[in-house]
Amino acid sequence: MSDKRLVYMDNQATTRVDPRVVEAMLPWFSEKYGNAASRNHAFGWEAEKAVEAARRTLAEGIGAGPRELIFTSGSTEANNLAILGAARMYRERGRHLVTCATEHKAVLDPMLALQARGWEVTVLGVDADGMIDLDELRAALRDDTVLVSIMHGNNEVGTIHPVAEIGAICHERGVLYHCDATQTVGKEDLDVERDGIDLLSFSAHKIYGPKGVGALYVRRRRPRVRLEPIVYGGGHERGFRSGTLNVPGIVGFARALELCLEDRAGEQARIAALRDRLQERLLGELDYVHLNGHPERRLACNLNLSFEFVEGESLLMGLDGVAVSSGSACTSASLEPSHVLRAMGRGDDLAHSSIRFSLGRFNTEEEVDYVAERTIAAVRRLREMSPLYEMALEGIDLNKVEWNRH
């Protein structure tokens, strides 16, 4: 096999747009190009009709009604609208918010922005598998708590949180529950009504749809959730989010979710089998490899491993042509160790040596075997240059070594 081959295994960062999705979108660029808000002519009516059909499809896919779905530019905007919008709308009721240490930065950063403006934020810790403690969540809720924001599936380590239990705890106390379900909509079993979710963010580009379009579910009854907008001008999307709608993107978003739900169980089983094949090869042929994330309650696509005595960035360079990520893809410009792995108690050395392989619809068994071979060869080559690996093989406990600092 030639090392020049390109293999994509970074599906949690983004996915290839399914050709069937592209096909559904194409007419809306050049033949049917009306603005969905132009209500004076057939071009606009046609676009509006397509948007509303897509809204119904997407809403049904999460167990919601079509009037509960607000289109956004993606999950980052949806998370910001949910958190900032709810906090500002209910600030007279209370200024306390609860989240989790392993959330995406698109949740943690709006929380920090509110904290700087006088809100109080409780950040729950996680165990070594990345799971929150439900008793800690119960204890964190106060009379002035207005919102809890805890994701469904983690973008780095794949751990899946028990959203129905979280929803029930929040509703017992009359607290709104926002769930970032970017990694799970279309893949995991999720129903906003059954699971007691009041606000839910998701995005097209994680489910083989286009980039630049997402949605926020906003519950309309029991309880009716109100948000203060973060974007003004024109009153689109019932005043929640102004701006011309991305009609081709919305059409593609709905088609992408339709395709995911057609054979969700079968597709997720196939992807999980590929992931397990890769995991077995790497753990079977390399020592000092650690699985990050919950061993069972995790996304089918996710395999996050720490390769001790190997720098993650060096390993990425050794895997040229193979698209994987070290730490979080969204913050990879920073060489800070992953905040998710740190929250799980991994030391900086293990956090720096982590690689996330994320598989998807278009990956094959042959690609899995190729990536396994490349990874094993690269890790072995890098470890040959590591005196620490040699010491570990000799049985020396590196934690007890007193290093000479001079």
Active centre residues (catalytic): 330
Question: Are 290 and 306 within 8 A, CB to CB?
Answer: yes
Q: Which residues of 172-207 are buried (b: 16+ CB within 10 A; e: fewer)?
A: eeebbbbbbbbbbbbbbebebeebbbbbbbbbbbbb
Phi, psi torsion values for 303, nearest 5 degrees = -140, 105
Q: How far apart are CA 120 and CA 132, in angstroms?
A: 20
CA distances from 20 to 184, 208, 249, 257, 259 (A): 21, 10, 13, 12, 9
CA-to-CA distance for 167 and 58, rounded, in angstroms?
21
Q: For helices 264-285 and 365-384, what crossing angle results, to 10°? A: 30
Q: Which residues contact 211 (CB under 8 A, 6 or more apart)?
A: 14, 74, 204, 205
**What is the spatial distance between Cα 152 and Cα 180, in angstroms, rounded to a whole number?**
6
- Partners of 217 in the beta sheet? 69, 200
**In angstroms, rounded to a whole number, what is the distance separating the alpha carbons of residues 282 and 373?**
9
In angstroms, the CA 240 to CA 220 distance is 13
Task: Round to whole Å and give the CA distance between 79 and 227.
Answer: 12
Residue 61 three-state SS: helix
Residue where the block lists tokens 């046609």? 46
HSE at residue 246, side-chain half, CA atoms within 13 A, is 20
